[in-house]
Structure 1
Amino acid sequence: MGWKVRAIRGATTASENSVEAIREAVTELLDALESLNPIDPDDIVSATFSVTRDLDAVFPAAIARERPHWQNVPLLDVQQMHVEGSLERCIRCLIQINTLEPLTAIHHPYLRQAKALRPDWSIATAPFSP
């Protein structure tokens, strides 16, 4: 099996719309993504963060850019489409990466209240601790 571009997804929620709360949530999510998947920042094609409209204190990409070796990763922030009754203060991440790993080896962490978004994935029900 050769190199493929794979997508790794994850989501979490922030406790409030503050720089500190968003930083904590994004850091926890990226820690989970990196600990559960063999991510080398040099192999990342791009990463997109989406946030619900109630989060605007800081860009998640700015937090990701502070991580070791993430300075040259192409990052993008977007606002998630609003759907009445949807999960509030939600941060989603989609990382596209060049990897040798098969799809079955990719883990998509859904943390905090975002666990409810994908209850069908077993990782979504397991607590994360670095």
Structure 2
Amino acid sequence: MEWQVRAIRGATTVPDNSVEAIREAVTELLDELETRNQLHPEQIISTTFSVTRDLDAIFPAAIARERQNWDNVPLLDVQQMHVEGSLERCIRFLVHVNFPAHKTEIHHPYLRGAKNLRPDWSLTPVRFS
């Protein structure tokens, strides 16, 4: 089978800077990533999480690492560049994945308040030719 590397973007927001709120949002976001893309963690090459400067209660990567079969996925947390007036309490990810070459749809999950970042991608598949 022929494979291609694809990148998947996604984001969500949290109501407050707490371990519980961040855990719930990251879990929801990663569940959407896996389910809507029929993705198995073994296909993930690496994942980078970014968080806005107002989130520091827990690392999103620590939450991801607790997921089944994510223990061997290279994970990185970084702080999102601050731009005045930008979306607050936001968690984003960039996931690099090995997909079968024949897979032509990728779902980029933008949830909660982050739906406004990419309304064209929120729960709409992106098709490749």
TM-score normalised over the length of structure 1? 0.90
Partner of 1:31: 31
Q: Classify 1:106/1:112 alpha carbon distance in 2 versus 1 (closer, same or farther; 3 Å).
A: same
Equivalent AA in structure 1 for residue 22 of structure 2: I
* Mapped partners of 1:49, 1:121: distance in 2: 18
Question: How far off is 1:121 after superposition?
Answer: 2.3
Shifted more, 74-83 versus 1-10: the winner is 1-10
Which 5+ residue runs of structure 2 have no aligned equivalent?
125-129
Q: Distance in 2 between matches of 1:20 and 1:82?
A: 24
Letter in 2 for 1:112: R
Shift of 1:101: 4.9
Q: Corresponding residue for 1:118?
A: 118
Instruction: List per-residue Cα deviations over 1:57-83 (Å, max 9, x = no partner).
Output: 000000000000000100000000000
* Residue segments in structure 1 that go unaligned for 5+ positions in a row: 125-130
- Greater percentage in strand: 2
| Between 114-123 and 18-27, the greater mean CA deviation after superposition | 114-123
Matched, 1:20 2:7: no
Partner Cα separation in structure 1 for residue 67 and residue 95 of structure 2 = 15
2:110 equivalent to 1:87: no
Aligned to 1:66: 66
Give the secondary structure class of the aligned counterpart of 2:56: coil
What root-mean-square deviation, in Å, do the aligned CA atoms of Structure 1 and Structure 2 show?
Answer: 1.5
Q: Percent identity?
A: 73
Amino acid at match of 2:15: S
Residue 32 of structure 1, CA deviation: 0.6
How far does residue 103 in structure 1 lie from its aligned partner after superposition? 6.8
Structure with more helix by fraction: 1
8 A contact 1:5–1:99 mirrored in 2: yes
